[in-house]
Structure 1
């Protein structure tokens, strides 16, 4: 943190000109400072800069500043064929690339009218990869959040287990973090031989580790004291700001696009949608948001087990199966406007397409990133809190700046 400016209020000016020992303690407390938090600060999770107006340790106003990353996704998308845009989709929320790809290919397939033709094996493979990546993304959120407020051990644990997931995804796609695995109409490649068995081994290994993480972090007395009743986001405010994902569910609203829009094969899968309950404090506080993410990891494990069951028993690997059979050589949708959305680890990721029916390049491709929208509520839930609590609140938002400055 660096002091940008000391506001020269009347009180501050009087302090500067008064004789030594002639000012009282109340005048000292009325000094206002503008403090820069970031973009180098580790708790801002990237290139976010927060301009904080504080009165001592108490925050009066927070202004988030973005614009340091410049992914330029939308301009890239309006100059490339549909199939070549997928690597740029990966680079928005780069810790949840599979989930972002899933939303994008669903949109293009819907424009082409081939959604119903996608084989079940492809759909279950996509959901399997998306849920593995959801766990990896939530591990980043939970682990770095614990480190923000002083818990180092859980960070090392989740990074260790996240690495197992990244190796699985790299084995399937050939890439690390930025996968380009889900293609319009199919997949880059079928999952490797032995992938299902390795995945089952990982799930068996992970279950007891999640309980350890729950006990050492989520149920930890110090963690509860630092997060309960802090950064309370009321349900009506969350709805008015367009908040989605674990932040919205942390405020008590059971809204999940995997259920609401019932895309892909999610209607065929049994899982619960956890919501905040105000167990440790006020409904919608930092603890609720973190608890919801932890519960979603348990639910993702359930989904993965069901996908593996389907892939090994009902939709088995065959020599005739070609994951690229429906991949069109030229993608040229009819003229239309279409908005499609999916449930990313951070909330609703949506893509708006406008096509002219003549080109294989979209006339307009607009991305609705959940991190950008969720960040917008930060000034509302930080007024009157301490600077230390601001760190806890920012970490509970789980923003990725590549998706904010897209």
Structure 2
């Protein structure tokens, strides 16, 4: 008789039941817990997604972070303001120029010298930041296409990105991690011949973008994999604090280059692309990718206008010395200050607390747009297929160095 009795362990209780007579409420769920990452290529770095699925249908997604801690904030609180910039580069390493621009601008505003910078410095900053924005979008779009199964776009985009990487290496002496924008100015002026080389690149890239749109954006398979997938309603995006192409993909024309009008962006003519739901629903994966492609066109327009200003109105000169504006020891007045700017992934912000006595920030906090944008993945993925989760994650475009800053 004892052999006929079966025991099951469920919810820490030993339950005795008759053989072959399980009640429906006692049956175990068909749900599975799957770990996606942290080494999986489609997780875009060391990210682990804990996926609760019922067959192929996703019930819940929990992102687990912290595999790539940069300890940025503690580094920043132990170094003078100027020496923090190399650590800024290592947060979003795909868009280091954009991050440097925000940080340097914040410290300059605390010192009260932001309006005293020469126009040439400001136009060079915008020029290299927009070049870096294009390079970042190339990686985002290329790796996204590869996530879905297309290899050719990735190779084409990395080929074109290499032209930008060589130009930025030419002006800074470094690849990817530039340390080019300094408090009060730049590491050095543009090298002779850079403007002409940049004009050649713009002429080269425009027809290539037409090929890119036909290869990816208008591709039937790409549309089927991304249209109506991972739809992010505008109210949900606002409630989660989403920014950048993800927010604009949901239909809101919100770009800090226009909203805050920092640097010389108010003097430049460019548009803000938004999602229109051409292939599916407004705010789906296709819209987010389309916004990034159209932003590349706008960045080219900004680059052309900067080159026009640099070659005709604000020519190179040896009269400007950054030391005239920036003291040897950067000691802002005692204050709490927040600065923000538009990177390729959204709003990057820095909060400073200065005590007025030291040239080391008392507190420095980074507001990562990648971290905030990633937080909405559980909402986007519910009810989707596991294969669609890869498409949703790729459309967010995260960099784990900034998520785990």
TM-score (norm 2): 0.93
SS of the residue corresponding to residue 360 of structure 2 reads coil
Q: Is 1:41 matched with 2:40?
A: yes
Q: Deviations over 1:137-196 (max 9, x none)?
A: 000100000000011110001100101001000000001000000000000000100000
Q: Any residues of structure 2 matched to 1:143-182 within 5 Å, and which?
A: 143-182=142-181
Larger Rg: 2
Q: Check conservation: 1:172, 1:191, Cα contact below 8 A.
A: yes
SS of the residue corresponding to residue 399 of structure 1 reads coil
SS of the residue corresponding to residue 252 of structure 2 reads coil
Cα shift at 1:329: 1.5
Aligned to 1:347: 346
Counterparts of 1:185 and 1:323, CA distance in 2: 6
Aligned to 1:231: 230
Q: Is 1:387 matched with 2:386?
A: yes
Counterparts of 1:218 and 1:378, CA distance in 2: 23
SS of the residue corresponding to residue 381 of structure 1 reads helix
Cα shift at 1:36: 0.4
Q: Structure 1 residues 18, 131: CA separation in 2 closer, same or farther (over 3 Å shift)?
A: farther
Counterparts of 1:297 and 1:169, CA distance in 2: 17
Q: Check conservation: 1:186, 1:325, Cα contact below 8 A.
A: no
CA RMSD of aligned residues (A): 2.0
Q: Deviations over 1:181-234 (max 9, x none)?
A: 000000000010000000111111000000100001011010000000000000
Cα shift at 1:320: 3.0
Counterparts of 2:333 and 2:221, CA distance in 1: 57
Aligned to 2:130: 131
Aligned to 2:281: 282
Aligned to 1:187: 186
Aligned to 2:3: none
Counterparts of 1:207 and 1:78, CA distance in 2: 43
SS of the residue corresponding to residue 196 of structure 1 reads helix
Q: Which 5+ residue runs of structure 2 have no aligned equivalent?
A: 1-8
Q: Check conservation: 1:350, 1:367, Cα contact below 8 A.
A: yes
Q: Any residues of structure 2 matched to 1:4-403 within 5 Å, and which?
A: 31-322=30-321, 325-403=324-402
Q: Check conservation: 1:186, 1:326, Cα contact below 8 A.
A: no
Q: Check conservation: 1:78, 1:361, Cα contact below 8 A.
A: yes
Cα shift at 1:18: 5.9
Cα shift at 1:324: 5.7
SS of the residue corresponding to residue 85 of structure 1 reads helix
Q: Which 5+ residue runs of structure 1 have no aligned equivalent?
A: 1-6
Q: Deviations over 1:332-390 (max 9, x none)?
A: 00000000000000000000000110000011000001000000000011001000000
Aligned to 2:5: none
Counterparts of 1:63 and 1:188, CA distance in 2: 42
Counterparts of 1:287 and 1:18, CA distance in 2: 50
Q: Deviations over 1:297-349 (max 9, x none)?
A: 00000000000000000000124344665343110000000000000000000
Cα shift at 1:32: 1.1
Counterparts of 2:316 and 2:99, CA distance in 1: 26
Q: Check conservation: 1:188, 1:323, Cα contact below 8 A.
A: no
SS of the residue corresponding to residue 329 of structure 2 reads coil
Q: How many residues align?
A: 390
TM-score (norm 1): 0.93
